[in-house]
């Protein structure tokens, strides 16, 4: 509540039944990380710390922000930050589309009139992605779930491991203009 991002409305600006639907959705999915597993991992790292070596702090968090809106839909993203090693942290995200009038979850594919394969090609064309091996990998790996609609740009996040030779998330941004 009371979070504003670009042109996306705060939850409090939506109709009460839509607010409740969105809140219920996020209450149902709960935390997108396992706190016990994260604590155990941090403890194991601590135990492996040798005398004189620094132990790096570990942070785990989850927050949900509105990312975009139009007259029919509102987009929210849940961001999770967790440690990966030696003080480094990684952020992952899950994006959800809600019908602005009912609060119902909308499947990303329902926003398109073409197949996932055709959408991948068109989105990569819009990004002016050259015909390279990386582009061909992106076309094969593309999923509608990888899309994040922001108020000023479309973002495609290929999760770590979804592209060959890419061990971290790989982002591609396309301005709407």
How far is CA 69 from each of CA 55, 75, 97, 153, 173, rounded to the nearest angstrom? 42, 6, 9, 12, 18
Q: Taking phi first (over 0 means left), then psi (-120 to 50 degrees means alpha), and beta for anything else, what does residue 52 get?
A: left
Rounded CA gap, 4 and 13, in Å? 10
Dump pLDDT digits (tens) for 71-103: 999 999 999 999 988 888 988 899 999 999 999
Q: Taking phi first (over 0 means left), then psi (-120 to 50 degrees means alpha), and beta for anything else, what does residue 158 get?
A: beta
Dump pLDDT digits (tens) for 36-50: 999 999 999 999 998
**All residues at 6 or more sequence positions from 121 whose CB lies less than 8 Å from its CB, including other chains:** 139
Please list the alpha-helical segments (H only) found in 33-152: 35-47, 116-126, 133-141
pLDDT at residue 165, rounded to an integer:
78
Task: Give residue 4's pLDDT band: very low, low, confident or very high (50, 70, 90).
Answer: low
Rounded CA gap, 104 and 83, in Å? 33
Cβ atoms 8, 151 nearer than 8 A: yes
Dump pLDDT digits (tens) for 16-32: 999 999 999 999 999 99
Is residue 2 predicted with pLDDT exceeding 60?
no
pLDDT at residue 43, rounded to an integer:
94
How far is CA 56 from each of CA 44, 80, 104, rounded to the nearest angstrom? 12, 19, 42
* pTM metric for this prediction: 0.86
**All residues at 6 or more sequence positions from 132 whose CB lies less than 8 Å from its CB, including other chains:** none
No. of helices (H) and no. of strands (E), the chain: 4, 7
Task: Give residue 136's pLDDT band: very low, low, confident or very high (50, 70, 90).
Answer: very high
pLDDT: is 4 or 65 the higher one? Answer: 65
Is residue 1 predicted with pLDDT exceeding 70?
no
Angle ∠(114,124,77) on CA atoms, nearest 5: 80
């Amino acid at each position: 509540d009371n979070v504003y991002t670009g042109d996306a409305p705060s939850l409090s600006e939506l109709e009460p039944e839509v607010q409740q639907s969105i809140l219920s959705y996020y209450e149902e999915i709960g935390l997108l990380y396992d706190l016990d597993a994260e604590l155990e991992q941090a403890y194991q790292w601590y135990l492996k710390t040798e005398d004189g070596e620094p132990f790096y702090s570990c942070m785990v968090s989850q927050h949900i922000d509105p990312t975009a809106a139009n007259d029919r839909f509102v987009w929210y993203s849940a961001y999770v930050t967790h440690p990966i090693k030696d003080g480094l942290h990684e952020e992952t995200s899950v994006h959800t589309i809600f019908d602005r009038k009912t609060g119902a979850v909308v499947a990303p594919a329902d926003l398109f009139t073409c197949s996932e394969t055709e959408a991948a090609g068109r989105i990569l064309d819009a990004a002016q992605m050259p015909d390279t091996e990386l582009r061909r990998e992106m076309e094969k790996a593309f999923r509608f779930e990888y899309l994040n609609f922001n108020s000023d740009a479309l973002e495609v996040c290929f999760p770590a491991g979804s592209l060959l030779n890419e061990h971290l998330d790989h982002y591609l941004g396309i301005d709407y203009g």
